[in-house]
Amino acid sequence: MNSSSISQIKIQKLTENIREEKDDIVAKEEPLEIQILQGNKINSVAVTMRTPGHDEDLAIGFLFTEGMLKTQTDVIRVRALGENIVLVVLRENLDIDLKKSERNFYTTSSCGVCGKSSIEAIKVESAYKNAECALKISKEFLRNLPENLRSQQELFSSTGGIHASALFDETGKIIVLKEDVGRHNALDKLIGFSLMNFSIPLTNFVLLLSGRASFELIQKAAVAGIKIVAAVGAPSSLAIESANEMGITLVGFLKKNSFNIYTNAHRII
C-alpha cells in the first residue's frame, strides 16, 4: 500500500456507553494540478481532488478521456513537479484543442464534470463507438467479480472510504486495479495506465466499478473502447442512455446471486 495515500489519525469511538480513543486510517484527499507542455508553453489544464498515488496515470487518463490525447505516442514523458503537480510533455506537432476541456480548472472528488462551461462540453466522442466486440461472458463470471475486486482492494480494506475501477480479462483475472476517493479518478488512473502500458481500445476486457455507474464513467469507458461495464451499485438514467448509444453492455446491482442487465444483453450468456 502506498503510504502517501493514507493518513493515520486519532479518533474517539463510541459503542453503547463506552468511549475510547483509537487509531484510525483514512484515505487522503489532496488537489492535483495537471499541466501540459507543448513546445515552450506550459498550460494548466485542470485541478482535481484525488487520493495521491499513480498521479501520472491519472493525468494521462484524464487527458485521454477528455479527448486531448489520442495515442501513447502523443506523450513524450510525464513527470511530477512536487507532490501535487504533474506535467505531461506532449509532442510538438500534436494538434491539441485546449477548449475541449472547457473547465474552470477545478474538479471535485465526487464530480468529474464539475466546472464544465456548457451542456455540450460534457459530451465526448469515442472513436470506438461502433467497434466490434466478440467478447461474451457468463453469469457466473460476473457474479465472481465483486469478491475478486474486494480481495485486492488494499485502500478500501484499510479505510472503507474509497472507490475502485478494475479491468478483468476473459478468464476473470484482474489486469489493472486502481483506487481513489473519486470514482472518475480511479477510472482515469486505470485508463491512463492501460494507454501507456499496453493498448487502447480495451474492447476485450470487462470493467468493474465498485460503486454506482454514472454518466461520466460510461463516457470514459466508451472513449477507451470498453464494451462491458459492470457496477456494484445502481446506474443513472443518463448512464443507461449513454451505454445504449455507445453499444456498451451495462450491468448494475451486481451481487453474488443476482444482477440487472440494462443494455446490450447479448454479451451475457
The residues assigned a catalytic role are 111
Angle CA 72–75–76, to nearest 5 = 125
Question: Do 218 and 248 form a contact (C-beta atoms < 8 A)?
Answer: yes
DSSP 24-45: EEEE--EEEEEEEEETTEEEEE
φ/ψ (deg, to 5) at 174: -75, 125
Q: State the pairing for strand pair 206-209/228-231.
A: parallel
What b/e string do you get for 30-55 counting C-beta neighbours within 10 Å, with b at 16 or more?
A: eebbbbbbbeeeeeebbbbbbbbbbb
φ/ψ (deg, to 5) at 100: -60, -35
Q: How many CA atoms lie within 13 A of 252 on its CB side?
A: 17
What b/e string do you get for 248-259 counting C-beta neighbours within 10 Å, with b at 16 or more?
A: bbbbbbbeeeeb
C-alpha cell at 107: 474538479
Q: How many CA atoms lie within 13 A of 38 on its CB side?
A: 17
